């Protein structure tokens, strides 16, 4: 009997060399490579702002603060997700409310979310389950007229597209994971993206103890010689290191090839396992409607109507 690993990170000499260069540079904490990774990631996803953090869990924590969730608020999350999605809601003192998911995509839909919205609902966290992009626009159309923020938990979805748009690009705030079980890895790491410049600036401060001027900027003399930073709200140490970012920059360049390979593997598994599938079992599929979507999880193109049931 052979063992099939859940994931083998696609790491090689290029990543090793990039990490070594970061070490040789003498700057290993959050610095120029983190800034470069943020710019490259924002460009790849097509969002104005990307803030690198230590994990998707910390990205979700900042996203909850950005959404204004706090004690007394409810945040709708999928009943099917990794525990970090709901944990992040509790970090800010809000209450997670669990919504059913579509059995085909594994994702929230307006129909599963609508009955749970109350006047205490502050946000909805829509997960791209296994990298299958959630129909974010449909959730936003439901939530935003009621003043509810939709956060996309795109932990597994770097490289996924829906209707030609990268996962996370349509969200006010989105969170990504670079844990080795994901396609693009930095060892540990995450990214929070957003559309609002003021929010991005706040998230940058919050990930670094709430400092008004980052350590890297102070070192570079930004803000003038001898600038003294202020701490205007309670922050956290959610920083990414330059060693991680150096690896991430190489991995980002490989992402299209990694998505293509994962799709090939998914098709192979589906074909091979499909013949011996137990009755009632099926795999999740990408969202039904568009033909131009693609998923970082490699879910194949078979339409949901063909799903075994
Ligand atoms: C949907 C989802 N959200 C959040 C996380 C947490 O990611 P991280 O390990 O980077 O904190 C995961 C990890 O698997 C996940 O699948």
In short, whether 156's Cβ falls inside 6 Å of ligand 1 is: yes
pLDDT value, residue 251: 98
| CA-nearest residue, atom 16 of ligand 1 | 82
**Residue 121 in contact with ligand 1 by CB distance below 6 A:** no
**Of the residues 49, 182, 205, 262, which is catalytic?**
182
Beta bridge partners of 76: 97, 124
Other CB atoms closer than 10 Å to residue 54's CB: what's the count?
21
Tell me how far apart the alpha carbons of residues 288 and 163 are, in angstroms, rounded to a whole number.
11
Distance from residue 100's CA to the centre of ligand 1 (Å): 19
At residue 225, the pLDDT reads 63
- Looking at every residue in the chain, the average pLDDT score rounds to 90
What is the number of the ligand 1 atom nearest to the C-alpha of 156? 16
Say what the pLDDT of residue 298 is. Answer: 37
Q: What is the pLDDT of residue 278?
A: 78
CA of 12 relative to ligand 1 center, distance in Å: 24
Return the axis-axis angle of helices 242-274 and 32-45, rounded to nearest 10°.
40
* The pLDDT value given to residue 61: 99
pLDDT of residue 296: 47
- Looking from the CA of residue 84, the nearest atom of ligand 1 is 4
Mutate to test the pocket of ligand 1, among 6, 53, 81, 82 (most ligand atoms within 8 A of CB): 82
- State yes or no: is 254 an active-site residue: no
**Predicted pLDDT at 223:** 63
Are 127 and 85 within 8 A, CB to CB?
Answer: yes
How far is 234 from 72, CA to CA, in rounded Å?
Answer: 20
User: Which pLDDT score, from 0 to 100, does residue 287 have?
Assistant: 54
**Ligand 1 contacts CB of residue 179 (under 6 A):** yes
- Ligand 1 centroid–CA 57 distance in Å is 6
The response to whether residue 149 sits with its C-beta less than 6 Å from ligand 1 reads no
Atom of ligand 1 nearest to the CA of 178: 10
Residue 301's pLDDT is 32
Residues lower than pLDDT 70 in the chain: 222-225, 286-309
User: Is there an atom of ligand 1 within 6 Å of 56 CB?
Assistant: yes
Would the CB of 55 count as within 6 Å of ligand 1?
A: yes
């Amino acid at each position: 009997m052979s063992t099939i690993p859940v994931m083998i990170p696609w790491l090689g000499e290029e990543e090793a060399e990039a990490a070594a260069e970061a070490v040789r540079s003498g700057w290993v904490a959050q610095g120029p490579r983190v800034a470069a990774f943020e710019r490259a990631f924002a460009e790849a996803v097509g969002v104005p702002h990307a803030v690198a953090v230590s994990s998707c869990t910390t990205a979700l924590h900042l996203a909850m603060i950005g959404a204004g969730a706090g004690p007394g608020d409810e945040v709708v999350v999928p009943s099917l997700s990794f525990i970090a999605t709901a944990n992040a809601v509790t970090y800010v003192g809000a209450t997670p409310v669990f919504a059913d998911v579509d059995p085909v995509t594994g994702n929230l839909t307006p129909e599963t979310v609508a009955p749970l919205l109350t006047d205490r609902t502050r946000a909805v966290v829509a997960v791209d389950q296994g990298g299958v992009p959630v129909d974010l626009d449909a959730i936003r159309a439901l939530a935003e007229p009621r003043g509810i923020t939709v956060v996309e938990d795109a932990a597994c979805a770097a490289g996924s597209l829906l209707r030609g748009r990268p996962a996370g690009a349509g969200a006010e705030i989105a969170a990504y994971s670079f844990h080795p079980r994901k396609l693009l890895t930095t060892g540990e790491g995450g990214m929070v993206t957003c559309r609002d410049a003021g929010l991005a600036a706040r998230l940058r401060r919050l990930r670094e103890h709430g400092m008004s001027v980052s350590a890297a900027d102070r070192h570079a003399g930004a803000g003038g010689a001898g600038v003294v930073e202020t701490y205007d709200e309670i922050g956290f140490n959610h920083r990414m290191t330059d060693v991680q970012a150096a690896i991430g920059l190489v991995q980002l360049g490989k992402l299209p090839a990694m998505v293509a390979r994962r799709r090939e593997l998914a098709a192979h598994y589906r074909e091979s396992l499909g013949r011996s599938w137990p009755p009632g079992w099926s795999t999740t599929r990408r969202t039904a409607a568009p033909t131009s979507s693609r998923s970082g999880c490699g879910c194949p193109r078979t339409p949901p109507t063909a799903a075994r049931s």
